[in-house]
Amino acid sequence: MPIRGLNHAVLFVRDAQRSAAFYRDVLGFREVAAMPNAVFLRAPESDNDHDLGVFGIGDDAQASPAGRSAVGLYHLAWEVPTLADLADHRTRLAEAGALVGASDHGTTKALYAKDPDGLEFEVSWLVPHDLIGDGMDVSTLPLDLDAEIERYGADRVGALSRVPGTARA
């Protein structure tokens, strides 16, 4: 049975409304449904019913030990169409105090951030497939976003894994 891709993610958070406000105000998600302890959000260019659900479990909830003392999900990665979009997200995440890193993985240019509960996520731009050569290493180096914009152009559309309204390749 084929899998097309990830349709949505659900996060347990301390306060669903606070988390929804973060994803809405900082990343541009839109609220599509809400209940007292749950909010469902859609990414700006998505045609999914929802891309993210946040379920509030209370202020006394402990931080996730995943990656430190337990197995668990490391992060979710959200794609952006252009490097200009990635630069805009860099500014928005920094202003929100959420930006924790930036990496050049060769085929992807990535920002790393944490939401109000410390859950890490990635915002990334994918190098177009026709520009990936045999010599391009998949590695982790510091990201020089301004140099990448000069190299690829601010408005070049990256190799998005899905264009809204179409099936994944």
Q: What is the pLDDT of residues 47-78, one digit of tens each?
A: 999 999 999 999 999 999 999 999 999 999 99
- Same domain for 83 and 121, yes or no, is yes
- Domain boundary among the residues 59, 86, 107 is at 59
- Same domain for 33 and 88, yes or no, is no
Concatenating the DSSP letter of every residue in 101-138 gives EEEE-SSEEEEEEE-TT--EEEEEEEPPGGG--TT---
- Same domain for 81 and 16, yes or no, is no
* Structure tokens given for 101: 């890193």
User: pTM for this structure?
Assistant: 0.90
Q: How far apart are CA 77 and CA 101, in angstroms?
A: 13
66 occurs within a structural domain: no
Q: What is the pLDDT of residues 110-135, one digit of tens each?
A: 999 999 999 999 999 999 988 887 76
Counted domains in the chain: 2
User: Residue 32 belongs to what domain range?
Assistant: 1-59
The pLDDT assigned to 168 comes to 38
- Same domain for 84 and 123, yes or no, is yes
CATH number at residue 48: 3.10.180.10
- Same domain for 83 and 132, yes or no, is yes
- Same domain for 34 and 99, yes or no, is no
CATH number at residue 93: 3.30.720.110
Q: What is the pLDDT of residues 70-104, one digit of tens each?
A: 999 999 999 999 999 999 999 999 999 999 999 99
- Same domain for 85 and 46, yes or no, is no
What's the one-letter identity of residue 82?
Answer: T
- Same domain for 80 and 47, yes or no, is no
- Same domain for 80 and 128, yes or no, is yes
